[in-house]
Amino acid sequence: MLGATLAAKGGFIKAFPLAVAWKDRHIKRMKYLPFLILLAACTMAPQPPTPPKSAPLPSPAADTCNAAKMQSHLGKPVSSLETTLLLQPVRIIRPDQAVTMDFLENRINFIADADDIITSISCG
């Protein structure tokens, strides 16, 4: 019924001139929509927060775990450590073994090769 009335009076444009003006104004603004979408896609992603800085690590030259006393084990099998009394944290690191990245200054690390021979000794 409303449609027939509008058609008899001259249509939608004469009945609702403000609605048409509003529609035209927003259609003109929509021509900027693709540029706004591209602009939004080009913005930088938010950076993850940086972790808080911890206390500085001691220099590798500082022998905090008495690794110098264990240098006699270099070139020997890892099994030679079984007869040595070690009263501190010890870690034996073999090839392709996952290890934690934490640093314990009193822990001694024995790095072994594929043949289970100690190739390096360090603190950490």
- For residue 73, what is the domain's CATH number? 3.30.10.10
Residue 74: alpha-carbon gap to chain centroid: 37
Of 60 and 111, the structure prediction assigns the larger pLDDT to 111
Same domain (yes/no): 72, 35 = no
- The domain tally of the chain equals 2
Give this prediction's pTM.
0.51
d(CA 72, CA 70): 5
- Residue-wise pLDDT for 61-112, tens only, equals 678 888 888 888 989 999 999 888 888 899 999 999 999 888 888 899 999 9
Same domain (yes/no): 76, 119 = yes
Is residue 97 in a domain?
yes
Q: What is the pLDDT of residue 102?
A: 87
Range of the domain at 101: 67-123
Query: E strands, the chain, where?
Result: 90-93, 108-112, 118-123
Same domain (yes/no): 30, 74 = no
